[in-house]
Each structure stands twice: as structure tokens, then as C-alpha cells.
Amino acid sequence: MCGIVGYIGKADVTNTILEALSRLEYRGYDSAGIAVLNGKGVEIRKRVGKLKILAEAVRRQPMKSGHVGIGHTRWATHGEPSEINAHPHTDCSHALAVVHNGIIENYAELKAQLVANGHTFRSQTDTEVIAHLVEELAKHTPLDRAFRQALKQLKGSYAVCLLSKQDPHRIFGARNGSPLIVGIGDGEAFFASDVPAVLEHTRRVVYLNDFEVVELSASGPTLTSLDGKPIKHTVVTVRWDVASARKEGFPHFMLKEIHEQPTAIEQTLLNRLDDVKGAITFDRRTKTFLDKLPADEKFIIISCGTAYHAGLVGEYMLEEFARIPVTVDLASEFRYRGPMLDRGITVIAITQSGETADTLAGIRLAKQHGSKVLAICNVMGSSISREADAVLYTHAGPEIAVASTKAYTAQITALMLLTLYLAKRRKRLPAAQWRLLVDGLAKLPRTVQRALESEDAIKAVAAKYASARNFYYLGRRYNYPSALEGALKLKEICPLIHAEGYAAGEMKHGPISLIRKGWPIVFLAPQSPVYEKVISNIEEVRARKGECIVIASEGDEHIARYADSLITIPKTDEFFSPIVAAIPLQLFAYYVADANGCDIDQPPNLAKSVTVE
């Protein structure tokens, strides 16, 4: 999951590419590089480490100006992070350069053939094989055809951009299984792995499909198939503006995105929830899809990471309120465990990016077996949203921080809409109870805003425990997934700390053995039918001198005596508590990581969307 960029136009290419790469750095940040086509031919600069190290090197030793270039920020898959393995990679004669996101599975085979043909390889990467393959084929055919022929020989996934001094008025790009878009500006054009990279210049984009090849000139793209057949393309104007891809005064994207949750939830409810009429609706495609579902349809939710925890909350809601049988699977297991799939199953794929490889493979497997696919996704035009039968978009805006926050609460909001829509359609809920939940949903953005107002109190609690190195998170029912999510947030952004989320009732079957004096345990204890059970779990931990950090409903006088540190959240129906409780869990993790000086937006070894297996 690297970030790639291509530019052709009138602006200074070096700055334009470095700026665009900075908007993609959440995709990978162990090394970076840029290639510029200028009077010197193909000039390349690469550095190990964050993009700012490359930018500093270019500042110290400027590249000769030009108007055509490609760039890359890397998350290593083949070959350790090093300057030689950083992209761009060139052919033997340095006449062309490529940047690539994905994995070329048959690279060793192709490399052996090319070495036998006299090519000299410099790196350990799979990507370099593309440059030499095009070089080899271009000996006998024009560059554009050589590029297409090379792509035909590649097995695996790729989003790739290529420039060549033989053809200074065009750059080339193509995708298969990895995201690539085209940005169309005024007398300039871009390739990019994701929309935020081009928002400074344009909101007009073309989402590419697999096996589409693009010749890009300053006046725009020409699309063909791998065989050179022309392909029509659609230009889409994205809703996101450039501010959404900036920190806007926050020290980290994560903190900004935590504070954007009231708006993200509001936008996800917009035009779907009418609390005056007491109605929930969706766009026609999604509504038709849902209305056609047979009464005995079963759901399988598949997802990864934080989206998996949203899926677990969805399971509880859909089973309890819509009475639909639901199982939840990690997509990486689902795709290989031989799941029972048939026409009576709808697979719900939950994904922020819409590009996660395991989830994408999961929906393809489902479709192969005749199952239907509903995606809950945050990125329009992404692979999963395009391959699903229907899509329930979360409108959280671009999520830049690697640790997911606003997409998570927007995903649960979408699952709430789905649950209440199906519960009503299937007459599963008494009207009064349904109305109560609809009113709660309508109030949710304000409720979350109120939860954010406890930021200072949460920061103080985080400071108290910032030096701890082990945490448990415990919860029951809807807040068992919250416990898992709380632990994941802390682990993601503060790699000094081990944290584990657990079903509170499971404690006594093992993990309780580790509890000793001062060991911090975060309890999710808002008002719920299992409140008393959680209290008993707190007492079990207190009996072993564990330190209890309790997240409870405001106005709960009773619980204070059980807590070493108490964090209160607005009182809501338990149905809404996973969203409201997410706020203190996110802020707690944020401030513990901040107190430990962690790289919060770009934690080591992680990336925003995992597009390779």
C-alpha cells in the first residue's frame, strides 16, 4: 500500500509531486522517491524514511526543473526499505522510470528471462521488472504498445505509472487490483493512488477500472484496454474539498478526525433519516436491493481492523432488532475458510477505503457463489464500492490518519440505519420502540458533540496512565466490540504499549491471572441490561488490586465508588453507546500516545489501506 503520483502540466513538477505525495503518505512512509523529465533526461532522487527527508534532500540539491514527473511513497513488500529499493525504478539506460503499488507475483520468472537477455537489475524489488520489461519490448514496438504488452505479462496486482524521455509529452498509467485515479486540472493532469493527492489542484477525477491503460497528456487522459481498444471515461466531481485533506490547525489528522465525528455522523444520516416523518430511506439502488431481500436472508459481515469491530456491533443490532441471522468474519479468514455461501446469503463488506485486499477478495468469493454483496464504504469509486451490488456510503470525508476514528462511528451509524430500516420493513419492532431509536439517532451528532466536551478530563486520565505498558479493555454486549476497538486504537498509535480487548465475562477464564497491583483496566460500563454484570467484573479486578478506568453514563452516582478513574459519557440507550463510548476510547489512546511522543498519524509498520495480501 504505497502512494503513487504522476504529473504533466505547466507547474514546477518537483514541488507539485512532493506536495501531492504528502497527501498520500498515510499509505506508506518507509522511503520515497521522485523522477523528473527535464533537460537532463530522467533525473531521480530517492531517500529512506519519511517524505520530509526526500523533500530536504531536494531542497539542498534542487532537481533541474521540468513539467513531467512521477513520485512514490513506499510501504515495503519486496526488498527492505533502502535507497536502492525505493521507487522510482529505471531500465538499464535510465531512459524510463516507473512507480508501482501492488505485488508482481511472477517477477522472479520475468527477471530471470530479462537477466538472460542482458538486463542488469539494481534492486530487490518486484517493481523493477516492469521498467526492464518495457525497455525490452520497446526495442521492437512503440512505447505505448510496449507498455501494454508488458502489463499483459504481469501476474498480481498493480497501479503503475511510467515516464520516458522517448515520449516527453505523455506519461502512462494502468491498474489491476490497486487503486489509481486520474485528476483533470486546467492544462495539467495527474495520476494518483487516491483523491486527496489532487484536491489542491482539481476535484475533477476519473476512477480507473482494472486493466484500463491511460496515456496522460496535459490536456487529459486517453483510455484504452490492454489490447489498445479505446475506452470511454467518466469524469466525476468529488464532494471533498482541499480543507478535508489538511490538518486545519490540529496537531494531528487523528485529533481533527475525532472532532469531525458529529459532522461525519450528520452527513451519513443526511437524506436518509427523516425524524419528523419518522422515516428511513436510501438511494434507489440500495433501497431496491434491500426491499428485494427474501425474509429468510442471512447476512455475513466481512471486514478488517476497525471495520471488523463495527461489524460486530452490527451483528448485535441486526440480530436483536431486525431478527436477521448474522455472522461476522475477518475477511482474511473468510476468504480461505471455505464459508457456506449461496443465493440466500448477503455478504456485507464494511470498509473505509474500499480497497482492502482481503475484503475485496471476500466479496469476489461471495459473488462467485451467487451471494449478494452490500458494501458499507467511505470512498466513492473505490474497487469494493464498484463491485458490490449496492453501497451504503458513509459520508465521513477523507480519513487520512492511519488509525480509523470517524469512519468507524460513521460505519456504525450506517449499520443503525440499516437495522432500523429492515426492522420496520419486517415489522420486528413495536412502533414506540422504533420511534425512540429514530429520535436517538437524530440526536446522535449532538450527543457525540457533548461527549467531545470531556476532552480535557480524558486527557488528564490519559496522563495518569501514560507510563503503563499493559492495558486490558473490558465490555459486554454492544460494548464488547468497543473494548476490542479501544485496545486496537491504543496499540495502533502507541506501539510501546500492549493492550487487549476482552469480553468482560471471559476474564475469569484466563486473562484475570495477569491482573496485579496497578494494572490498568478500561471498563465500558454505560447503562445497559448487563450493567450489574459489569459491576461484578469491576469488583473481581479491584479484588486483585487492578486499576479501574471506568467509562460510564453521566449522572451514574453508583459507579463512582468502583472507579480509580471515571470518564462519563452522555446517557443514551445502549443501542447508541458504542458510538458515544468510542469518543473517550479514541481520545484516551490519542493522549496516551501523545504523552509518549508517538508518531500518531503514521505509526510504524502500519498503513491506511492494505491493498496487498
**Residue ranges binding ligand BG6 (CB under 6 A):** 304-307, 351-353, 356, 359, 402-404, 606-610
With beta carbons less than 8 A apart as the criterion, state whether 286 and 392 touch: yes
Of 136 and 399, the one with the shorter C-beta distance to ligand BG6 is 399
CB neighbour burial string for 81-114, b if at least 16 within 10 angstroms, e if fewer: eeeebbbbbbbeeebbbbbbbbbbeebeebbeeb
| Phi, psi for residue 260 in degrees, rounded to 5 | -85, 0
Give the shortest CB-500-to-ligand BG6 separation in angstroms: 18
- DSSP conformation letters of 399-456: --SSS-SHHHHHHHHHHHHHHHHHHHHTT-S-HHHHHHHHHHHHHHHHHHHHHHTTHH
- DSSP conformation letters of 71-140: EEEE--SSS-S-TTTSSPEE-TTSSEEEEEES-BTTHHHHHHHHHHTT----SS-STHHHHHHHHHHTTT
Cα gap 63→35, rounded to integer Å: 9
With beta carbons less than 8 A apart as the criterion, state whether 192 and 5 touch: yes
C-alpha cell belonging to residue 476: 459486554
Cα gap 98→75, rounded to integer Å: 16
Give the shortest CB-609-to-ligand BG6 separation in angstroms: 5
Closest residue by Cα to residue 210 from 233, 226, 197: 226
Cα gap 391→403, rounded to integer Å: 23
Q: Rg for the chain (alpha carbons), in Å?
A: 25
Give the shortest CB-305-to-ligand BG6 separation in angstroms: 3
Closest residue by Cα to residue 244 from 399, 394, 352, 404: 399
Give the shortest CB-412-to-ligand BG6 separation in angstroms: 13
Of 262 and 354, the one with the shorter C-beta distance to ligand BG6 is 354
Give the shortest CB-16-to-ligand BG6 separation in angstroms: 27
Of 13 and 583, the one with the shorter C-beta distance to ligand BG6 is 583
Closest residue by Cα to residue 438 from 455, 555, 430, 533: 430
With CB atoms as reference, the residue minimizing the distance to ligand BG6 is 305
Of 102 and 305, the one with the shorter C-beta distance to ligand BG6 is 305
Per the DSSP assignment, residues forming a β-bridge with 97 are 90, 163
Cα gap 65→63, rounded to integer Å: 6
Name residues whose C-beta falls within 8 Å of residue 369's C-beta, 6 or more positions apart in sequence.
Answer: 341, 342
Give the shortest CB-253-to-ligand BG6 separation in angstroms: 12
Of 383 and 419, the one with the shorter C-beta distance to ligand BG6 is 383
| 598 counts as catalytic | no
| 494 counts as catalytic | no
Cα gap 168→19, rounded to integer Å: 22
Of 61 and 605, the one with the shorter C-beta distance to ligand BG6 is 605
Give the shortest CB-349-to-ligand BG6 separation in angstroms: 8
Q: Which amino acid is at 513?
A: S
289: part of which helix (H) or strand (E)?
helix 284-291
Closest residue by Cα to residue 282 from 296, 268, 263, 261: 268
Give the shortest CB-263-to-ligand BG6 separation in angstroms: 19
Of 307 and 524, the one with the shorter C-beta distance to ligand BG6 is 307
Q: Which amino acid is at 536?
A: S
Name residues whose C-beta falls within 8 Å of residue 289's C-beta, 6 or more positions apart in sequence.
Answer: 372, 374, 389, 390
Of 377 and 507, the one with the shorter C-beta distance to ligand BG6 is 377
Closest residue by Cα to residue 13 from 97, 134, 121, 86: 97
Give the shortest CB-334-to-ligand BG6 separation in angstroms: 13
Give the shortest CB-4-to-ligand BG6 separation in angstroms: 18
| Cis amide prior to 88 (ω within 30 degrees) | yes
Of 30 and 43, the one with the shorter C-beta distance to ligand BG6 is 30
Give the shortest CB-332-to-ligand BG6 separation in angstroms: 10
Cα gap 299→583, rounded to integer Å: 28
Closest residue by Cα to residue 407 from 415, 422, 397: 397
Of 280 and 376, the one with the shorter C-beta distance to ligand BG6 is 376
C-alpha cell belonging to residue 125: 524489488
Catalytic residue among 46, 372, 491, 608: 608
Of 46 and 491, the one with the shorter C-beta distance to ligand BG6 is 491
Catalytic residue among 2, 161, 304, 377: 2
With beta carbons less than 8 A apart as the criterion, state whether 205 and 190 touch: no
Residues recognised as catalytic: 2, 608
